[in-house]
Homo-oligomer: A and B are copies of this chain.
């Protein structure tokens, strides 16, 4: 798939078929995530790959916007190891870039995903930390719910000239 087709064609997919996702596909999307830039090249991202049905079915108890995980074969929690940072407090940016790479890779593979926020909502951070037994230095940024799409959304171009300023605001 061509880059711009992926950039404009990636949409938030919330309906999935029951078709499973292979280990090779998971590794491919994680490779894309890990190719993101990071402050000082610290690469503080860490990942929890969620495939257990019981976990996917109860994700909504720690984040109410993840109910679609009940129909999905896969979710990936993008976390940061805050002890791995070279320049402090850039982990949100680093891990967001990794998440965006992951979403684009998912789309390019013919799969679909939706990014659901965890950080900075403290009760969600606490819920995910308990559910996935995260150590204290590991902070969950967000979760991608992933599967074979059972819905089709058209490409979008949101270009808005009023959001662009030249040299001075």
- A positions within 8 Å CB-CB of B: 1-4, 6-8, 10, 12, 27-28, 30-32, 34-37, 39, 43, 45-52, 55, 87, 89-90, 92-93, 96-97, 99-101, 103-105, 108, 115, 117, 120, 132-135, 138, 141-142, 156-160, 163-169
Contacts and interface: CB of A to CB of B under 8 A. Distances in A.
Oligomer copy total: 2
Contacts of A117: 39, 87, 90, 93
Contacts of A165: 46-49, 132
A50 B92 contact: no
A131 to B, nearest CB: 9
A168 B132 contact: yes
Contacts of A27: 159
A8 B35 contact: yes
B134 A169 contact: yes
Given A43-B158, A48-B167, A167-B55, A99 B101 contact: no
Nearest to A138: B169
B30 A159 contact: yes
23 contacts: A1-B2, A1-B3, A3-B108, A4-B32, A7-B35, A8-B32, A10-B37, A31-B158, A31-B159, A34-B158, A34-B160, A43-B158, A43-B163, A48-B166, A50-B167, A51-B166, A51-B167, A52-B167, A89-B120, A90-B120, A93-B117, A96-B100, A132-B169
